[in-house]
Amino acid sequence: MAERKSNLPQPVRITLAMAMWGFILWLFSFGHPALVPIAKAIFIVFVMPTGLVEWLKYRGMVAEQKAPVAKVAGMVLFAAIWYFFFQ
């Protein structure tokens, strides 16, 4: 399948993807207060480190081969931050 090129710069696409995930999680938790902490955890633990690593990859600070390891390390770090500061 051919990949479609976007006219948007990479940082804008990363920001839009993170905003989209935030909106989707907000929709799923809308009207269900018990799901709000779960949506926050998903956003903090999975979405934020992924966006951060993609931005660092764009800036050339993380190599393409090291990006998956950096994402997992970021998820572990953000999970610890979420556990100790948002619980």
Ranges under pLDDT 50 in the chain:
none
Model pTM score: 0.84
Q: What is the largest CA-CA distance in the chain?
A: 44
